[in-house]
Structure 1
Amino acid sequence: MKTFVLGVAVNAITRSQALDRVRQLLADGSQHVVITPNPEIVMAARRDLRLRAIINSASLAAPDGVGLVWALRRRGVEAERVPGVEVMTDICELAAALKKCVFLLGGKRGAAERTATRLRKQWPALSVAGWSENADDIETIRRTRPDILFVALGTPKQEYWIETHLTELPSVKIALGVGGAFDILSGQLPRAPGWLRRLGLEWCWRLMLEPSRLARIFNAVVRFPLAIWRA
């Protein structure tokens, strides 16, 4: 069941429930879109009707961001943060167990290849069909026939890409937009310490490492709460 936050539909679920849902989606044979919206994405979707429609039609929209969890709880809906990078690694672990193969699309500066190497090291049974930084490389994805596609092009480009191209890739049963997950999993960008994540302050860490994100973080930590209060 989904709850609407500022017009954007979100599944109020736990990390384990999200993985159970992915397992169900993989089993039914259809194509599915998985999204992990955060407050910044919700704010973008308020203005971008196409992005909002994509999120609202997704088979799973797990809340990534303490602000989104807070907004759900204000409405009396219990939820926990389900970070997109952890959804990706959970899916990789599941794929290794189910003998499903994955493809990594996007990223930059070799992040996709390094992420693939690290994923294989962590789960030797995981089949990585391939990777490409080129968003136009449809033929390689089609030829390698992955079951799961991770798209790291940033929002909203990755969501637009999935909407446009998923039906051209019949082998893909799960397509997930993962934003900057390749940067973290490849080791290019260190993740916030666990204690900061537990306090809901991972955004402070990202701001310290990437000052250029200031405007985006302002949207998430100032404009989003104000919009919730006014809604």
Structure 2
Amino acid sequence: MEGTVNILGIPFSKLTLDETTNQLTEHIQKETSKLFHLITANPEITIANQTDKHLQEIISEADLVTPDGIGIVLASKRKGEPIQERVTGYDLLLRLLDKGNTLGWSFYFLGTDEVTSRKAVEVIGKLYPNITISGRKNGFFTEEEEFNILHEIQQTKPNILILAMGAPYSDKWIYKHKRTLIDVKVVFGVGGSLDVIAGKVKPTPTFWKKLNLEWLHRLLTVPVAKGQKSRWRRQSALPKFVYRAIIKRNI
């Protein structure tokens, strides 16, 4: 695929954060646009993709996969097809909120716990008063509630649907309901971004960001939600990724 670099079977976009934002802006501003499914993939997702056939199908049909991790950037340089920078779900969300505040876009937020969801949307409404918040729901819902959520999204037709239910679950949920989400223009998962916006989780200090150690800061400071794998277990994918994509260059 043009403008991408293949890392362990995933076609990662070479677009910068600015370029990605511009592409999504152009898509949203079109009067008629099909659903644009963007995936932000980190080394953990890249390793999971090696054995998860369903995830492979989802990623192969995505409209854009951005590099959400310094490991992806390093692997691309090792391959000789360098990606300039990471494009994380959190950074992209902030950029689109800013654009949406200027252009009057609408957003729907789905995921995280009820208290955090409510607080995050409250903060977003104050910081970006010109966007329309089409709706919000926490990520703990029954099948009946899910039906009502999908109906509400169909009715409100937000420009952007944001999911904060963790990866790869968010993207599997999106894929499952693609036909129902046809009136949404852009959809993507943002991991724990709403937790940061709500103040539940402190943002990574600049010092850690400059060293590209945001993953380590999260590992040491962010609590794990009930029912999720421990962060130490999840980060076990990192050495596998380093070996396969950077040392062995099996890419």
TM-score, normalised relative to structure 1: 0.94
Distance in 1, matches of 2:57 and 2:203, equals: 30
How large is the RMSD of aligned CA atoms in angstroms?
1.5
2:35–2:181 Cα contact (<8 Å) kept: no
How far the C-alpha of 1:188 sits from its partner, in A, is 0.5
Distance in 2, matches of 1:75 and 1:53, equals: 24
Gapped runs of 5+ residues in structure 1? none
1:12–1:72 Cα contact (<8 Å) kept: no
Structure with greater helix percent:
1
Q: Are 2:225 and 1:223 aligned?
A: no
Counterpart of 2:41 in structure 1 is: 37
Counterpart of 2:226 in structure 1 is: none
1:110 partner SS: helix
Counterpart of 2:25 in structure 1 is: 23
User: What whole-Å deviation, never above 9, does each CA across 1:129-162 have from its counterpart, x for those lacking one?
Assistant: 1100145121222222211100111112111111
Q: How many residues align?
A: 230
Q: Are 2:134 and 1:132 aligned?
A: no
Gapped runs of 5+ residues in structure 2? 224-229
Counterpart of 1:207 in structure 2 is: 219
2:179 partner SS: helix
- Aligned to 2:101, which of 90, 96, 99? 96
Moved more, 31-40 or 129-138: 129-138
Please list every run of at least 4 consecutive aligned residues from structure 1 whose deviation after the TM superposition is greater than 4 angstroms: none
Q: Are 2:124 and 1:122 aligned?
A: no
Distance in 2, matches of 1:210 and 1:217, equals: 13
Counterpart of 2:56 in structure 1 is: 52
How far the C-alpha of 1:56 sits from its partner, in A, is 2.7
Q: What does 1:153-172 align with in structure 2 at a 5 Å threshold?
A: 153-172=165-184
TM-score, normalised relative to structure 2: 0.87
Distance in 2, matches of 1:40 and 1:188, equals: 23
Moved more, 1-10 or 204-213: 204-213
User: What whole-Å deviation, never above 9, does each CA across 1:99-144 have from its counterpart, x for those lacking one?
Assistant: 1100000111422221111111111111111100145121222222
How far the C-alpha of 1:190 sits from its partner, in A, is 0.7
2:161–2:184 Cα contact (<8 Å) kept: yes
Distance in 1, matches of 2:115 and 2:11, equals: 34
How far the C-alpha of 1:210 sits from its partner, in A, is 3.5
Distance in 2, matches of 1:148 and 1:58, equals: 16
How far the C-alpha of 1:53 sits from its partner, in A, is 2.3
Distance in 2, matches of 1:109 and 1:132, equals: 7
